[in-house]
Amino acid sequence: MALNWFKKLKSGLSKSASKVEGAIASITGKKTLDQETLDDIEEQLILADLGIDVASRITKKIKDQKFELKDNKEINKLDVTNMLASEIEKILIPSEKNLYDDIVSSPHVLFLVGVNGSGKTTTAGKIAEQFRLQNKSVILAASDTFRAAAVEQLKTWGARVGAEVIFGIDGGDSAAVAYKAFQIAKDKGVDIVIIDTAGRLQNKKDLMEELTKTCRVLSKLDVNAPHQKVVVLDGTVGQNAHSQLKNFDEAIGLTGTIITKLDGSAKGGVVVSLAEKFNIPIHAVGVGEGVDDLQSFEASSFSKALVGLDDK
Ligand SMILES: Nc1nc2c(ncn2[C@@H]2O[C@H](COP(=O)(O)OP(=O)(O)OP(=O)(O)O)[C@@H](O)[C@H]2O)c(=O)[nH]1
Ligand SMILES: [Mg+2]
C-alpha cells in the first residue's frame, strides 16, 4: 500500500488501535504471562470489537508462544504486538478481494445495498471515480426513490466524477430505475452501472423483498446481473454489522462488502470479526468523505494499522 494511503488508514484506525494497545499494555512490567494477564488481554480484545472467538483464539496463541523471558527481562511488547498483527492478518487474508477483479461483463452491474446512512451513495461516487481513472464509462442509477434528496446527492457525485445519472420519479418504483439504467447502459455501450439503493433496516422484510425484486428485474436483461451485490457497512456500529451482513446476504446473496467510516471509528476491530465469521470478501474500506477516500482492502496493512504498527 502506498505510504500516504497507509498513513491515512493508520490515523483513521488510531482510536481502534489504542484499544488494542490497551490489551498489550496489561503486560507492562511483566516477566511472564500469567493467566490473569492473559484474561485481561482477552477482555481488552473483545472490547476492541474483535469478537469473542477471535479474542480467545489470539489469546491462546499468545499463551502458546510462551513469551517467557530469559535474563529476567520484561516481556517485549513489540514482540507481542507483531504476533497479534500476524494473527489478525491470517484471519483477514481469505477476505481480501479487489472489487475490480471480477469485472467481466459489459455493461457490468454493481448493486449497492445497506442500512440507512451506511455510506452507499458516497461509496457509489468514490467507485465511479475509480472506474473513471481506469477509463471506464459509468452510469449511476438513483434507485433510492424513497428519500427526496437522494437523487440530488447522487447527481452531485455524478457531476463530480463525470458519470451520467439515471433517476425516476419521487416515490416511484426503484426496480424500474435500475432496469432503465441498465437498458440505457446497454444501448449506449457504457461499461459500468452502479445502482445506489435506499437505506433499509435489515429486519424489514418488505424492504428487503424490494431488493430481491430489483435483482430479478435486472436479470431479465442479463441472467448474471447484477454481477456484484455489495453491502456497504458503517464501520462505527460495531457488532450490529454482523446482523446486517447476515440479513442482506440471506436476502440477495452478497458477493462482497465495503466497510466505511473507518476514519475515526473506535470499532475497526469489527472488520476482523466479520472476516472470521463470514465467507464474504471485503473489497474496500472507506477512510473519509472525499472522492479519493476509498482504499482497497489489504490484510497486511489493515492488520498493522489496527494494532498501531507501521507498514513494513
Ligand atoms: N468519515 C466518513 N464519512 C463517510 C464515509 N462514507 C460516507 N460517509 C458520510 O456518511 C454520511 C452518509 O453517507 P451516504 O453516502 O449519504 O449514506 P447512504 O448509505 O447513501 O445513506 P442513505 O441513502 O440515507 O441510506 C455522509 O455524511 C457521508 O459523507 C467514510 O468513509 N468516512
Ligand atoms: Mg444514499
Domains of the chain, by residue range, sit at 3-95, 99-296
Answer whether 121 contacts ligand 1 (Cβ < 6 A).
yes
466524477: which residue's cell? 161
Ligand 1 atom with the shortest distance to the CA of 118: 19
Q: Digits of tens for pLDDT over the chain (312 positions)? A: 787 989 999 999 999 999 888 888 888 888 888 898 899 999 989 998 999 999 999 999 888 887 766 666 778 888 889 999 999 999 999 999 999 998 888 999 999 999 999 999 999 999 999 999 999 999 999 999 988 899 999 999 999 999 999 999 888 999 999 999 999 999 999 999 999 999 999 899 999 999 999 999 999 999 999 999 999 999 999 999 999 999 999 999 999 999 999 998 999 999 999 999 999 999 999 999 999 999 999 999 999 999 999 987
Contact 120, 197 (CB under 8 A): yes
Distance 154 CA to ligand 2 centre (A): 8
Residues within 5 A (CB) of ion ligand 2? 120-121
CATH superfamily, region 99-296: P-loop containing nucleotide triphosphate hydrolases (3.40.50.300)
Which residues 6+ apart lie within 8 Å of 298 measured at CB? 1, 96
Domain 3-95 has CATH 3.20.130.10: no
Which amino acid, residue 211? L
Please give the Cα distance from 162 to 301 (Å, whole number).
Answer: 31
Give the atom of ligand 1 at the shortest distance from the alpha carbon of 125.
15
Cα–Cα dist 19/44, whole Å:
7
268 lines ligand 1 (CB under 6 A): no
Index of the ligand 1 atom closest to the CA of residue 286:
31
